């Protein structure tokens, strides 16, 4: 059997019928079942029909041959004249090709790819059209599903405003941009598409090659995760959490990157604020612990100084008037007085010294001490005072404020070994409800001491107010000056603010409560010359848990002509009070174990309501709920101080 015949065998299997070339083409067309291949005449009527057409469109040949091919179009397309235009285009251009909806015999629609070609013969010219139709419904559905998914993803990305979600090409150029990216980074889509994503990095990161490393990490490891500072369009910085994922083509080649950026500035700032709060709490707890320790040490030291000074005072009266002996006594007293000053600084840091806040005119106070200070400093360190004429007065202890200023000015001098101007200035400030430096709202006077000296680095500045911390040489400073000032200003209801930069000088600010209205005139203070003598010897109950202070206090009273009854505890004092009704007054220490001096006075007055009391203490802090009168005698006290106290309570 050759290629030009096709077998038509009978039962014997021997017959053969020759096949024409037209017959072969007809068999070929009928064998194609995936395409509808058929002919139309010049008017568009179907003239033949293949097996593929029957399968796709549902019509048998005897049902469709002779009918117009517009039967396969939708009502909308027929009304729009699409079948006619298709034939016109095929006739005029040689081909019509289109995809669209077509209709099967049962009315079901399918998506078809249609090609119409004119049929032209040499003998007769244009005699009709060849029409090929392919069912692409499954592909169209897949494409529609893919398009729908793409649209859903696009809508999803476009609806996200808290994240910057965008694409980069393989070189790092921005190729898509969502509203979140516009909100976070500040660029519109038109401004950023086509620009390199290194635009969002800081200058330092760009120079260090951070953008290139990020893409390389994503290529090599399949993902880049990082966090750092980025730059918005307006130049402001924000903290960003960044994820970069590579995008692969079907062959595995990287064709771009997906980049997600989240603004975590608030989280980082909150974390920093929390860490700062923890550090401030730690520092406050540390200072409180040091303050308690310092206050306790100062209390014991006060008692020792009390014993030393009172003993020296009594010895001076009993020793012969020998100049050499008197000089030794003077030296001992001077040494003890220096100890008193050191103790006061320790108590100031612990905020436990006894203060006498009054209305103080700061310019007058500074001008009053400038001449003495200038002579002490020398001409290389001129003091320049700058105060407005209407500066408010402050509420402060004048002596303690002078000591604080003296410390600050001496520190300023030491910071300028080659000389320089020390500026002392003041200004009024009002702290609002939002607070400043932890101060409550209200009027304040800011007293500043500034110098253009060596300054301090950040570490030194952070430790400057710690007790016993000093940058001065051995023997040139106790390390208590700034800590004393810190405690003093805090106790007065203000704030000590220290600002300094290495090589740029230092400014120390004392924020003190302002007192716009004047106080009532102060009463005249008694002097040693006019202290009235006691009208009669007094029986004084002396209570102190420190044996040295107790002995010396009793000795001072005896030397003044009074009769002391000594008790080493509050309990012992109450026992003596019960058994000695002749006791005229109580003189007691405050800080004692089990029962304090205030509690002792309360217990004593429960039995004898009118008994006078003197509370001798080195602490400035006492209970807030005291509702009775007593005389407060500051330790260490002299004999003249004791005489004044006795006169005050017996008067």
Q: Taking the CB of residue 352, how many other CB atoms lie within 10 A of it? A: 23
Structure-token pair, residue 560: 């003044």
The conformation of residue 333, written as its DSSP 8-state character, comes to: H
pLDDT digits (tens, 9 = 90+) for 346-399: 555 444 455 567 888 888 888 877 776 777 688 889 988 899 988 999 988 777
Euclidean distance between CA atoms 378 and 151, whole angstroms: 83
Q: Which stretch of DSSP H or E encloses residue 348?
A: helix 323-350
For 455-466, b/e burial (b = at least 16 CB within 10 A) is bbeeeebeebbb
Tell me if 438 sits within 8 A of 495, measured CB to CB. Answer: yes
Q: What is the pTM of this model?
A: 0.39
Distance of alpha carbon 129 from alpha carbon 91, whole angstroms: 9
Structure tokens at 565: 């009854």
Residues 366, 405: contact at Cβ < 8 Å? yes
Residue 173 DSSP label: B
Q: Which residues contact 166 (CB under 8 A, 6 or more apart)?
A: 174, 175, 176, 177, 178, 181, 259
Looking at residue 372, its pLDDT comes to 66
Q: What distance in Å separates the CA atoms of residue 60 and residue 544, rounded to the nearest whole number?
A: 127
Strand 383-386 and strand 422-431: pairing? parallel
**How would DSSP label each residue in 272-305?**
HHHHHHHHHHHHHHHHHHHHHHHHHHHHHHHHHH
Low-confidence ranges of the chain (pLDDT < 70): 1-33, 145-146, 149-161, 280-299, 301, 339-356, 372, 376, 464-481, 483, 516-535, 618-628, 651
Q: What are 431's strand-pairing partners?
A: 442
Tokens of 158: 């476009």
Residue count of the chain: 651
pLDDT of residue 344: 62
Enumerate residues 6+ apart whose C-beta is below 8 A from 480: 342, 345, 346, 349, 467, 468
């Amino acid at each position: 059997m050759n290629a030009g015949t096709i077998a038509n065998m009978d039962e014997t299997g021997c017959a053969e019928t020759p096949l024409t070339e037209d017959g072969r083409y007809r068999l070929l067309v009928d064998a194609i079942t995936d395409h509808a291949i058929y002919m139309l005449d010049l008017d568009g009527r179907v003239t033949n029909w293949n097996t593929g057409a029957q399968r796709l469109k549902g019509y048998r040949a005897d049902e469709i041959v002779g009918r117009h091919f517009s039967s396969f179009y939708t009502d909308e397309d027929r009304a729009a004249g699409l079948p006619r235009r298709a034939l016109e285009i095929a006739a005029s251009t040689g081909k019509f090709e289109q995809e669209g909806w077509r209709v099967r015999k049962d009315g079901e629609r399918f998506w078809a790819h249609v090609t119409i070609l004119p049929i032209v013969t040499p003998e007769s010219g244009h005699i009709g059209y060849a029409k090929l139709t392919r069912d692409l419904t499954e592909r169209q559905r897949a494409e529609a599903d893919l398009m729908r998914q793409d649209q859903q993803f696009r809508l999803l990305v476009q609806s996200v405003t808290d994240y910057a979600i965008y694409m980069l090409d393989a070189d790092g150029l921005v190729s898509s941009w969502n509203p979140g990216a516009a909100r976070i980074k500040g660029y519109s889509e038109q401004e950023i598409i086509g620009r390199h994503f290194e635009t969002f990095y800081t200058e330092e990161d760009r120079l260090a090659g951070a953008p290139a490393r990020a893409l390389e990490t994503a290529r090599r490891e399949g993902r880049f995760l990082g966090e750092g500072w980025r730059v918005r369009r307006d130049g402001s910085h924000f903290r960003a959490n960044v994820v970069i994922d590579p995008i692969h083509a079907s062959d595995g080649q990287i064709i771009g990157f997906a980049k997600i950026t989240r603004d975590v500035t608030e989280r980082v700032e909150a974390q920093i604020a929390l860490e700062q709060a923890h550090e401030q709490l730690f520092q406050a707890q540390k200072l409180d612990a040091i303050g308690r320790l310092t206050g306790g040490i100062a209390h014991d030291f006060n008692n020792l100084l009390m014993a030393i000074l009172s003993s020296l005072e009594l010895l001076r009266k009993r020793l012969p008037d020998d100049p050499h002996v008197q000089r030794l006594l003077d030296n001992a007293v001077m040494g003890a007085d220096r100890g008193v000053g050191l103790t006061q600084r320790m108590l100031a840091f612990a905020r436990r010294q006894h203060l006498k806040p009054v209305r103080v005119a700061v310019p007058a106070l500074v001008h009053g001490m400038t001449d003495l200070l200038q002579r002490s400093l020398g001409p290389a360190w001129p003091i320049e005072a700058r105060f407005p004429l209407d500066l408010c007065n402050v509420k402060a202890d004048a002596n303690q404020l002078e000591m604080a200023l003296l410390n600050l000015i001496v520190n300023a001098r030491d910071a300028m070994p080659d000389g320089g101007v020390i500026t002392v200035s003041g200004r009024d400030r009002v702290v609002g409800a939002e607070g400043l430096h932890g101060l409550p709202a209200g009027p304040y006077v800011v007293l500043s001491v500034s110098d253009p000296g060596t300054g301090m680095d950040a570490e030194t500045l952070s430790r400057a107010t710690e007790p016993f911390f000093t940058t001065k040489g051995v023997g040139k400073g106790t390390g208590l000056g700034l800590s004393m000032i810190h405690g003093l200003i805090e106790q007065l209801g203000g704030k000590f603010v220290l600002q300094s930069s290495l090589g740029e000088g230092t400014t120390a600010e004392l924020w003190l409560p302002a007192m716009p209205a004047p106080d009532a005139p102060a009463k005249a203070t008694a002097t040693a010359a006019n202290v009235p003598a006691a009208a009669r010897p007094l029986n004084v109950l002396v209570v102190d848990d420190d044996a040295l202070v107790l002995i010396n206090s009793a000795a001072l009273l005896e030397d003044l002509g009074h009769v002391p009854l000594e008790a080493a505890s509050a309990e012992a004092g109450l026992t003596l009070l019960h058994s000695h009704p002749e006791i005229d007054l109580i003189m007691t220490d405050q800080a004692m174990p089990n029962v304090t001096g205030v509690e002792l006075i309360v217990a004593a007055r429960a039995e004898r309501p009118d008994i006078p009391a003197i509370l001798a203490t080195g602490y400035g802090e006492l209970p807030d709920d005291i509702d009775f009168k007593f005389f407060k005698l500051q330790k260490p006290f002299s004999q003249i101080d004791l005489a004044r106290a006795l006169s005050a309570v017996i008067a």
